[in-house]
């Protein structure tokens, strides 16, 4: 048995231990979530599409749309910041299925290509863009294709690789990268007491056998310092009397571990993914720039008698195609959606990278680790950006129900301000770490901080456009 001594138990460590002891309860909860998930993505496919008179409370398809995009996704994101990746380890239906499949599959070793560190950015970007191409927020077929396709892929990967592991979640899940970044802000983590771990070796030689832990996301438990990849499943709670669910400062991981743990793909995901591609995906539907470019290009094509880009014969699984709803993308529309999102991603990402890079240079000779560490200070704002973008879907659905939501812009402003303050705090702490021993530190600090403030302003401009200028 691996039990923490009773004296060292707080209610929090008890919660972690409860998770470990009550695997049956957790499995039942996972089954219920899985059942709800299957109903939500499957049933609307067999129902007629809603019309203008349909409401959240009177039409199941509108209801599922609200549950998925209005509640489920924004609050899963929020839960990661508050509780760590409890969603992944305890509730996620894809994780559940992938692990179950892995227990009954071929148990192959994980291939080299899958370990590539760029997957989190690539799969996030591809899923985000494809979701917009097929209007995943609007149509049940698209939801089934995108979410159901991801679930099938999770099962297949589970069947092929690992033995009772979550290989899909660790390497290929489209939101793994985003969750791994947000979990760095979590005030909860599984703390490993190295001394207790070493001590447990001497004890275990003389007394009881240590029961091995199946850490599904394959973490090196003894050296685990980060909450980033931990799924918070609680299975290791109390292991070797050395691992305990604990509190920490939400800033601790970014400030203390960012210098060694952050890498270039984290930076790419923050700057070009969460603060670039995702913003483009939220922007294009209301952007007057998009409309202007589309109209100009369409006119030019007609003038030059090039008609095929204006045809609307793409199938629904390539570009949105619902003639009965008057919602059909031409090849031009679809191509422009992709171009707009990618261009927005490149523009915002590059502007932010320039700010962070100049700030990095001001802190001393070029240092890539410091650059990636500095970029981590933008995680709170990046997470809030994705949350705000998703919440705009929630709000537009509630507005359609004529609910009084005049307070929403103020709430958006407050949330944005909070994220800016937290990011600024992290940036100050990171800058101090790199400048406390160098000459002219004050000048360098102020310069780097100004660069960071410009990066904040660049990001805020995206939300000013979306919520106030174009709204
Ligand atoms: S380290 Fe592994 S076993 Fe422990 S809580 Fe995290 S995911 Fe679960």
- What are 291-326's pLDDT values in tens digits? 999 999 999 999 999 999 999 999 999 999 999 999
Residues 6+ apart with CB under 8 A from 412: 388, 391, 463, 467
CA-nearest residue, atom 3 of ligand 1:
215
Q: For residue 34, what are the CA distances in angstroms to 27, 37, 46, 217, 278?
A: 10, 5, 19, 20, 27
Task: Provide the number of structural domains found in the chain.
Answer: 2
The residue range of the domain holding 366 is 265-469
Q: What is the mean pLDDT of the chain?
A: 94
Q: What is the pLDDT of residue 307?
A: 96
Candidates 86, 191, 236: which one to mutate for ligand 1, based on the most atoms within 8 Å of Cβ?
Answer: 236
Which of 161, 183, 205 is the C-terminal boundary of a domain? Answer: 183
| Residue 239: inside a domain | no
Range from 97-101, 207-211, 305-309 carrying the lowest mean pLDDT: 207-211
| Residue 148: inside a domain | yes
Enclosing H/E stretch for 45: none
Residues 6+ apart with CB under 8 A from 379: 181, 182, 184, 185, 254, 270, 423, 426
Q: Quick one: average pLDDT of 340-358?
A: 98
pLDDT in tens, 212-248: 899 999 999 999 999 999 999 999 999 999 999 999 9
Ligand 1 neighbours, Cβ below 6 Å, are: 89, 190, 213, 215, 217, 219, 221, 224, 230-236
Distance from the alpha carbon of residue 234 to the mean position of ligand 1, in angstroms: 6
Residue of higher predicted confidence among 3 and 436:
436
Give the CA angle between residues 338, 344, 347 to the nearest 5°: 135
Distance from the alpha carbon of residue 231 to the mean position of ligand 1, in angstroms: 6
Which of 132, 165, 183 is the C-terminal boundary of a domain? Answer: 183
CA-nearest residue, atom 2 of ligand 1:
215
Which of 183, 214, 234 is the C-terminal boundary of a domain? Answer: 183
395 and 277, same structural domain? yes
148 and 275, same structural domain? no
Distance from the alpha carbon of residue 235 to the mean position of ligand 1, in angstroms: 6
Residue 285: which of 60, 66, 465, 73 has the closest Cα?
465
Distance from the alpha carbon of residue 89 to the mean position of ligand 1, in angstroms: 8
Atom of ligand 1 nearest to the CA of 243: 4
4 has pLDDT over 70 = no
Distance from the alpha carbon of residue 189 to the mean position of ligand 1, in angstroms: 10
DSSP code string of 334-346: HHHHHHHHHHHHH
271 and 122, same structural domain? no
Distance from the alpha carbon of residue 214 to the mean position of ligand 1, in angstroms: 8
Q: What is the pLDDT of residue 6?
A: 46
Q: What is the pLDDT of residue 8?
A: 52
Contact 213, 235 (CB under 8 A): yes
Contact 237, 16 (CB under 8 A): yes
Q: What separation, in Å, do the N-terminal and C-terminal C-alpha atoms of the chain show?
A: 59
Residue of higher predicted confidence among 5 and 101:
101
Q: What is the pLDDT of residue 16?
A: 93
94: pLDDT confidence band, cut at 50, 70 and 90? very high
Could you give the CA distance from residue 429 to residue 256 in angstroms, rounded to a whole number?
10
CA-nearest residue, atom 4 of ligand 1:
236
Instruction: Give the count of beta carbons closer than 10 Å to the beta carbon of residue 199.
Output: 14
């Amino acid at each position: 048995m691996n039990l923490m001594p009773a004296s060292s138990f707080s209610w929090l460590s008890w919660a972690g231990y409860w998770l470990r002891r009550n695997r049956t309860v957790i499995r039942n909860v996972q089954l219920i979530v899985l059942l709800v998930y299957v109903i939500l993505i499957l049933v609307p496919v067999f129902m007629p599409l809603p019309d203008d008179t349909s409401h959240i409370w009177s039409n199941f398809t509108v209801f599922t749309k609200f549950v998925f995009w209005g509640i489920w996704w924004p609050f899963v994101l929020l839960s990661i910041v508050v509780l760590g990746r409890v969603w992944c380890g305890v509730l996620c239906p894809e994780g559940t299925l992938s692990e179950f499949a892995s227990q009954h599959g071929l148990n192959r070793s994980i291939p080299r290509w899958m370990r590539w560190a760029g997957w989190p950015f690539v799969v996030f970007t591809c899923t985000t863009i494809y979701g917009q191409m097929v209007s995943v927020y609007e149509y049940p077929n698209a939801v089934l294709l995108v979410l159901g396709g991801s679930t099938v892929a999770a099962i297949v990967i589970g069947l092929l690789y690992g033995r009772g592991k979550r290989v899909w979640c660790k390497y290929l899940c489209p939101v793994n990268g985003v969750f791994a970044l947000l979990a760095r802000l979590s005030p909860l983590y599984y703390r490993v007491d190295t001394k207790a771990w070493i001590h447990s070796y001497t004890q275990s030689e003389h007394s009881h056998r240590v029961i091995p832990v199946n850490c599904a996301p394959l973490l090196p438990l003894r050296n685990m310092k980060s909450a980033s990849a931990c799924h918070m499943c609680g299975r290791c709670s109390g292991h070797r009397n050395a691992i305990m669910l604990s509190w920490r400062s939400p800033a601790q991981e970014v400030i203390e571990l960012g210098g060694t743990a952050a890498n270039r793909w984290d930076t790419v995901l923050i700057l070009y993914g969460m603060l670039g591609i995702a913003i483009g995906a939220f922007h294009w539907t209301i952007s007057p720039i998009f409309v202007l470019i589309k109209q100009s290009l369409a006119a030019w094509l007609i003038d030059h008698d090039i008609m095929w880009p204006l045809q609307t014969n793409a199938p629904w699984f390539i570009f949105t195609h619902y003639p009965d709803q008057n919602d059909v993308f031409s090849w031009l529309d679809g191509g422009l959606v992709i171009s707009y999102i990618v261009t927005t991603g490149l523009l915002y990402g590059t502007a932010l990278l320039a700010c962070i890079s100049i700030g990095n240079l001001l802190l001393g000779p070029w240092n890539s680790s410091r650059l990636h560490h500095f970029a981590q200070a933008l995680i709170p704002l990046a997470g809030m950006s994705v949350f705000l973008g998703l919440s705009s879907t929630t709000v537009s659905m509630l507005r359609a129900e004529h609910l009084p939501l005049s307070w929403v812009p103020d709430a958006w402003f407050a949330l944005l301000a909070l994220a800016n303050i937290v990011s600024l705090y992290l940036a100050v702490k990171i800058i101090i770490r790199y400048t406390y021993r160098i000459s002219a530190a004050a000048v360098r600090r102020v310069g780097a901080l100004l660069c960071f403030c410009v990066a904040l302003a660049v990001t805020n401009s995206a939300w000013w456009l979306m919520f106030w200028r174009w709204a």
